[in-house]
A and B are shown apart, each in its own frame.
Chain A
Amino acid sequence: MKLRTALLGATAAFALAPAAQAERGTDGELKLLYSQAVSVMTPYLSGGTKDIDAASLVLEPLAGFDENGVVFPRLAAEIPTLENGGVAADLTSITWKLAPGLLWSDGTAVTSADVLFTHEYCTHPEGGCAQLSKFGGIKTIEAVDDLTVKITFESPKANPYTAFVGATSPVLQKAQFANCLGAAAATCTDANFNPIGTGPFVVTDFKVNDVVSLAANPNYRDPAKPAFATVTLKGGGDSESAARAVMETGEIDYAWNTQINPELQEEMAAAGKGVFISAFGGLVERIETNLTNPAADLPEAERSTVKHPHPFLSDVKVRKALSIAIDRQALVDIGYGQAGKPTCNYVPAPADFASDNTECLTQNLDGAKALLDEAGWTDSDGDGIRDKDGVKLSITYQTTVNPIRQDFQALVKGWWNEIGVEVELKQIDPGVFFGGDAASPDTYQKFYADVEMYANEWDGTDPETYLGQLTCEAIPSPETQWQGENINRFCDPAYDALVAELRTTGDRAKRAEIIKKLNDMLTKDSSTIIALVHRGRFSAISNTLGGVVMGAWDAELSRASDWYRIK
């Protein structure tokens, strides 16, 4: 395979030599290291970043997101917009045109039937497709001709770039996956490990949770790309050893997610064999406040439910005091270094969606104390803890077991103690915390604590569904088996109305205005969500690897076709 690929690559490049400067397959082997090994080569059976990244070397969507979050064509001939008529004026449909002459890596033609099939594959009622939400709100999908696909939505869709946009919803080959619908999806091991794609590389060997070997795709649409003849994607170890393999020993060209403490970052950068690169998307480490009462003496079905408002966190002044007592820059310096930035926002990016909310960035302990005094919380019995009407400002602060989070907990506890708030820390195994087991008292949805800390983001560039998670109807409760994403139990009719307005607004500037307003309602105005750190993707690349543009809106490897060896 290697030889054949190299030969094909060489011939192709030879034929086009005058036109192309680079040649396919001339730069040897590209070595990638992921501290989490790849389990499966399709994003449809896994939500894991490592699997989505690996699959993006082989499978491609109609369009991708660039480093600024702008949609650019991949398999599509151009991006359908309102201006070129690709998106219907009433926002109820979008028409994609495939670029002509596209081939799968096995040499057959890519047609609209493949696109239709992919939709059928993921939306099959018996399937467990991890990217089902990408295909939400689609009424019909039809092939106008061999290269044209029209998607009609159930209601006007202001952001039509969901299905087939980004590495989480690539096009599958119908011929290969035809027998893998529904419950059979998981049994198609060969197809799931060696999918036929249109991307720059093809899988030559797949070892589950260990290593993926790939070679340049002889039928890739750009005859000069990819520059690398083979790719080895090794998995295992931890972020520190992955970073060392690039920065200190130089064995590896690209190590993913090298999240290490800032001190080590500097030490490794000094070795001079590589650099750290970062890109910031929507990921925010935050403290969520519980607006309902988690007290253990309440009946089981009423704990942390809207029946009982929180004794002190329902007071906006208390929440605000907690927020401004935190020195966010100190948190970044101790935990993230180049991989994080202090933030006050729930939606910190893309730039035009981010509110100019920076008030919380300066720590203000005196201001926090004044706020608590003003709200009537004083230390009446002289024990160092503020109280009011017999209720003490005593907080249970939970998060997952994680060294950085434990450092954060200790620092925040110090600041909160200083303003007269008692803090009890609690750490939960991430498998339980995020496990969603309705019988466990320790899930993040159940929220049997006053505040909790974790990170979250959204898929793609548009935060509409992410903001929609804070509507009244998404509050988790015993009636919903504790399912629901409104962790704070925040409920404001004005917010809900604005979310509804966002869903029907197509104009980007207007959307930005609404998104900022929603963001401020959660953060600046109510301090319901105490944002701490805007976290970025953080990877290490060798000095000999060129062409890497790190983006946060699509898979990290989705543009590996442009990478080359610096000689």
Chain B
Amino acid sequence: MITFILRRLLLAIPTLLFISLMIFLIVDLAPGSPASQIPLTVPPEVKAKILEQMGVNDPMPVRYALWLRQFFIVEPAYWIDSLFGTTLSEGQQRIVSWQFRGPVMDVILERIPQTLMVVGSAYLVGVLIALPIGIYSAYRQYSAFDQVGSFVAMLGFSVPTFFTGVLISYIFAIKLGWFPTVYDTTLKVTDWESFVKQLRQMAMPVMVLALANAATISRFMRSSMLENMTQDYVRTARAKGLSERTVVLKHVLRNSLISVVTVIAIGIPSIFGGAIVTENIFKVNGIGSALINAINVSDLPMVQTIVFIFAILVVLFNLIADVLYGLLDPRIRYD
């Protein structure tokens, strides 16, 4: 197992380097320029100077090398400095956004809490809803419950969040006035009152995202359960005279969860990726809205850094899913 993990980690290095180059090329070659964000009232010579100062005009390999250096050397050095009070990163330029001229990493760190809070709880709620629905749907296949469950899952799959988001906000915020439409990122939960406030402002985005998440996971759970229900060991268990409860919740569920757990693990990076559409509708301003905003204004360092962090997380959680699979299923051995 250890050698497997080590081998996979080593293999991840060239993979990530290749991914970073691809991201850089795609972002850089895409049409659009940060110059378009400078108003027309600014004369061309001043505009040229601003771009020059940003470093937009440097040749592409130079900018890529600089970014690599900043991401892998300067940024870690900076964090070591702030932890241990050393001066490794002194005088070195961190990754700086073209749009707001501040360090990109600071903004990402500032954005992570609200994204984790909203998108993370939506994922959790989604999983908590999906598992029982998936289990019961499979156990009573083709029952009314299963049909309704399938219908709702189809809705969750096929109705985009830009529609459910606006619909939910229209019903609950504008018509009923229960929840605020503007998410307050400065709110600190210190007492019962602020906790309720936080719950109220999270309610709508969590609803929208949980529906979409629950739809996917409940379908996985259902099909995985169905697959196991017809297995020989289930018949044996029933023949032994075990109660239905033990058969379903102990024998079938445990075996069905193996594949579902990996699906859930692989889905975790998407929490960090945020939810571009939903975050924008409810003004949560997490990572997702930071990314789309950076894309809109051609803020290359920001886009590059955020997308690359996603890439790292995806590679990492794929590895974790593989390892989990090996741990949960004794039939699978990597050595």
**Residue ranges of A at the interface with B (Cβ–Cβ < 8 Å):** 33, 37, 39-40, 45-49, 126-130, 132-133, 183, 185-187, 189, 192-193, 205, 207-211, 213, 232, 234-238, 241, 244-245, 248-249, 251-252, 429-437, 440, 442, 456-459, 465, 483-485
B52 & A133 in contact (Cβ 8 Å cutoff): no
Query: Nearest chain-A residue to B98 (Cβ)?
Result: A186
Residues of A within 8 A of B53 (CB): 126-128, 183, 185-186
A211 & B102 in contact (Cβ 8 Å cutoff): no
Binary A-proximity of B26-59 (CB < 8 A = 1, otherwise 0)? 0000011101111111111111111111100000
**How near does chain B come to A543, taking the closest CB pair, in angstroms?**
17
Residues of B within 8 A of A127 (CB): 49, 53
B181 & A209 in contact (Cβ 8 Å cutoff): no
A484 & B36 in contact (Cβ 8 Å cutoff): no
**How near does chain A come to B112, taking the closest CB pair, in angstroms?**
12
A249 & B177 in contact (Cβ 8 Å cutoff): yes
Question: Is B182 at the interface (CB under 8 A from chain A)?
Answer: yes
Contacting A at CB under 8 A, from B274-296, are 280-281, 283, 285, 289-290, 293, 296
Listed from nearest, the 9 A-B pairs whose CB atoms lie closest are A128-B53, A431-B32, A435-B33, A39-B100, A434-B36, A128-B50, A236-B283, A186-B101, A210-B285
Whole-angstrom CA separation of A484 from B47 in the bound complex: 11
Given contact pairs A33-B182, A186-B101, A208-B102, A457 touches B33 in the complex (Cβ within 8 A): no
Residues of B within 8 A of A237 (CB): 182, 280-281, 283
Q: Is the interface of A mostly helix, strand, loop or mixed?
A: loop
Tell which of B36, B37, B45, B289 has the most Cβ of chain A within 10 Å.
B36
Whole-angstrom CA separation of A221 from B185 in the bound complex: 32
Sample of 10 more A-B contacts, CB < 8 Å, known A127-B49, A440-B31: A45-B101, A129-B46, A189-B102, A189-B106, A208-B100, A209-B290, A237-B281, A432-B33, A435-B298, A457-B40
B174 & A40 in contact (Cβ 8 Å cutoff): no
Whole-angstrom CA separation of A432 from B53 in the bound complex: 21
**How near does chain A come to B200, taking the closest CB pair, in angstroms?**
12
Contacting A at CB under 8 A, from B158-188, are 169, 173-174, 177, 180-182, 184-186
Whole-angstrom CA separation of A249 from B178 in the bound complex: 10
**Residue ranges of B at the interface with A (Cβ–Cβ < 8 Å):** 31-33, 35-54, 93, 96, 99-103, 106-107, 110-111, 169, 173-174, 177, 180-182, 184-186, 280-281, 283, 285, 289-290, 293, 296-298
Residues of A within 8 A of B52 (CB): 128
Residues of A within 8 A of B177 (CB): 249
B31 & A128 in contact (Cβ 8 Å cutoff): no
B50 & A130 in contact (Cβ 8 Å cutoff): yes
What are 23 A-B contacts defined by CB distance under 8 Å? A40-B102, A47-B41, A127-B49, A130-B42, A192-B102, A207-B110, A208-B100, A208-B102, A208-B107, A208-B110, A209-B99, A209-B293, A211-B185, A234-B184, A237-B182, A244-B174, A244-B181, A251-B182, A435-B298, A437-B31, A437-B33, A456-B41, A459-B41
Which of these, A232, A234, A236, A456, contacts B40 with CB under 8 Å? Answer: A456
A241 & B42 in contact (Cβ 8 Å cutoff): no
**How near does chain A come to B202, taking the closest CB pair, in angstroms?**
16
B289 & A436 in contact (Cβ 8 Å cutoff): no
**How near does chain B come to A2, taking the closest CB pair, in angstroms?**
12
**How near does chain B come to A255, taking the closest CB pair, in angstroms?**
10
Whole-angstrom CA separation of A47 from B39 in the bound complex: 6
Query: Nearest chain-B residue to A136 (Cβ)?
Result: B43
**How near does chain B come to A486, taking the closest CB pair, in angstroms?**
11
Query: Nearest chain-A residue to B114 (Cβ)?
Result: A210
B44 & A432 in contact (Cβ 8 Å cutoff): no
Given contact pairs A244-B181, A251-B180, A236 touches B285 in the complex (Cβ within 8 A): yes
